[in-house]
Amino acid sequence: MKSAKRLNPLDWTFLAGESGETMMMVGALLPFSPPPDAEASLLRRLMDEVRADARAQAPWNFKLKYPNQLAHPLQGWVEDDHFDVEYHIRRSALPSPGDERELGILVSRLHSNRLDFHRPPWEVHFIEGLEGGRFAIYFKVHHALVDGYTGIKLLSMSLSSTPDERDTPMFFSIAQKPRAPKADNEAPKEATLDLLLRLAREQVDTSQMITRALRDTVIGAWKPEKARDPALKAPMQAPKSILNQKISRNRRFATQQFALDRLKRVAKAHGGTLNDLVLALCAAALRRLLTELDALPAEPLTAMLPVNVRPKDDPGGGNAVGAIIASLATDIADPQARFHAIVASTAAAKAQLAGMTRNGILQYGALLMAPLLLARVPGTVGRIRPAFNLVISNVPGPTKPLYFRGFKLDAYYPLSIPMHGYGLNITVVSYGDQLNFGFIGCRDGLPHLQRLAVYSKAALDELDDEATA
């Protein structure tokens, strides 16, 4: 058993947060449409191929060094010398012909089961039986092994840009390209002492920026109402809601898909960004559902928004995200006024990150997420204000149509992490000319979660009508 790599603090946090109800794994549902010459026995042949070539490349061959003590202070990844590919790659089937509702039910159940930490913590399910000769791939992986950015990047390596390519290898068997070593003439020219002094100055500057940001948010939130910026939201400023209770292990999953061109046109017409519109659609759907359940708080719901800080050439692995908190303005009935309030809130939050270094954004994000640990203290969930009400993530995905063994990828639906005190998570992933929404929540704590997908479409229609009126 070879040593592979240590965990960074954020990776360790995802393991420390693992429990029977809060399973810290992310996933994806990828439905595919068949080509005219589709092979009926593709999945059976694919499983034979997988068994014949059972090797796994990093990070897919990493398992935990201490699987029985997830929060071990010396926890790390080691190579699995007894990798069992048939455990990780599985076939599932719907009663044929299966529809989208039945597919959602199956994926909800699959995402309700924990990963085995004595093995590399990931699984892939090939789901056959969909009507029209379609099939789907459901994939899940623990967030400590890879984040959403890395998962999409590595999973996409098994897909091709043309339907004519029929032998693309499975993602877990593809070796990552190592970073090119720096040439001698690119070596740092600073003397060691000068370099250390510069790094120390950068850390001091980072600490000062974080202190100012926390003063503006956490301390500023408790100023008299007239003296604070109402658009700037802080941890623990969110209202109590049915989203912020203890959860069970059971999950409910729903999806929605929108044309990117339409979203960008509507966002621009209302004076905001695509991300602002995503928040506005989620806010409208939540306001409508919680109103129907007679559970809408008088104060606006707030969302934690992860911020990716990886450089474009980063190969991925582990976690590298910051965070901001924004208002969803769910206390405002008028859709346009609600949208403008969201724009103001995200602008105020992003202004705090301006000028911060990458390390500073990571540290500031960790501080904003620190109140999540309170949810692990017995008796706190539902009794104190949550740090925020839910997480909404926007992850860039493939920009061009992709194929798997000739089958066209129709959508890329993400699944993320509900946890105690935060029973709903919404993630969106772009794919080609579409934006795909994945709504994942506690089946027992949030009734009628599927309505969020329907109501988000109605919210877009409403804003679109107002933009063209």
- Assign residue 383 a region (left: φ > 0; alpha: ψ between -120 and 50; beta: otherwise): alpha
Cβ contact 254:103 at 8 Å: no
Is 192 exposed, middle or buried (CB count within 10 Å of its CB: 0-12, 13-18, 19+)? exposed
User: Hunting for tokens 């890879």 — which residue is that?
Assistant: 146
Tell me the C-alpha distance between 66 and 75, whole Å: 6
Task: Give the strands of the sheet with 424-431, arranged side by side.
Answer: 251-259, 434-442, 424-431, 390-395, 302-308, 321-327
Closest C-alpha to 396, from 433, 426, 429, 427:
429
In Å, what is the CA distance from 1 to each residue of 141, 169, 280?
21, 26, 49
In Å, what is the CA distance from 47 to each residue of 43, 81, 85, 87, 91?
6, 21, 10, 12, 8
Cβ contact 59:121 at 8 Å: no
Cβ contact 238:387 at 8 Å: yes
User: Has 448 been annotated as catalytic?
Assistant: no
Tell me the C-alpha distance between 245 and 150, whole Å: 30
Quote the radius of gyration of the chain (alpha carbons, Å).
23
Query: How long, in residues, is the chain?
Result: 469
DSSP string over 122-150: EEEEEEEEEGGG-EEEEEEEETTTB-HHH
Q: Considering 88, 111, 142, 143, which one is annotated as catalytic?
A: 143
| Crossing angle of the two packed helices 335-353 and 358-369, in degrees rounded to 10 | 120
The span from the first CA to the last CA of the chain, in angstroms, equals: 66
- Beta bridge mates, 305: 324
Structure tokens at 63: 């398992």
Closest C-alpha to 409, from 389, 440, 438, 430:
430
Task: List, by residue number, the catalytic residues.
Answer: 143
